[in-house]
Structure 1
Amino acid sequence: MTSPAPTRPRRTPLRSMLLGGLVPSAPLVVLVPLLTWAAAGPWAAVSALLGAVLSVVVFVLGVVGIKGVLTGPTASTMAGAFGVFVLQLAALAAVIWSLGQTTWLEVVPLAIAFILVGMVFQAGLVVGYLRIRTPLDVTLPGETR
């Protein structure tokens, strides 16, 4: 007797979007600090690493927050998405402010890494979302093909 084949996990939009965002941005979390180290030294590289990691964390938490918004009532979707965005900005501002109180942080490498990794992550989210979409073929009543 053979056992049934293991089932693959169902692909969901959230999973596809997270993979679409994480796969291209993960190498940048390593590559950007290494390039920064070569160009500007070790403390700039640490700042770039912090910016890259901060970017990935903020955007992953945003996608997870949007998942929670979408499971709620449809009427509050836009307000919930705006709330997630405001929370992301507030958390990011608090983290950047607290990091700005240190003497070792270099702001320019942190900002460049944050923006670069964030843009790649966002582009990956869009690609992940577009991959999961399925075409809908509907024939309406009274319509002929």
Structure 2
Amino acid sequence: MSIEIGQNVPDFSATATGDATVTLSELRGKQVVVYFYPKASTPGCTTEGGDFRDNKAAFDAANTVILGVSRDGLRAQENFKAKEEFNFALIADTDETVCQLFDVIKLKKMYGKEHLGIDRSTFLIDADGKLAQEWRGVKVPGHVDEVLAAAKALNG
């Protein structure tokens, strides 16, 4: 099951950095970027998170909240956020609830072995809670610029 463009994104609550619980329905009235990354503190994930961090003011101006999600535990997420000075919440989706909701767990190959992992993906949810755009199998360079352009366009 995956959410189609234009459909309401089912509400979810998840544990996030800063001793917070993020609940999607509480963010109504703002656009929300939910980006999934495979593992905290790895090179591609660090670059992607840094790109979101460095563009946060522009996302704020576009009335858009940024949420990063991986299956890492809360301590790993807190360390990653602190080390990289991320200025947005990271969700510790250890039970894969949010991952399953967005259908981002895929069979991947690494060193010839297959394993289930997060397919780097980003979702833009409009202020009414509907899925406006999605990017799957994301390549990091230039990605955040694309997401920001889409958020600004959606904002009118």
Same-fold call, TM cutoff 0.5: no
Name whichever structure is richer in strand by fraction.
2
Relative contact order (C-alpha < 8 Å, sep 6+): which is higher? 1
Name whichever structure is richer in helix by fraction.
1
Which structure has the larger Rg over C-alpha atoms?
1
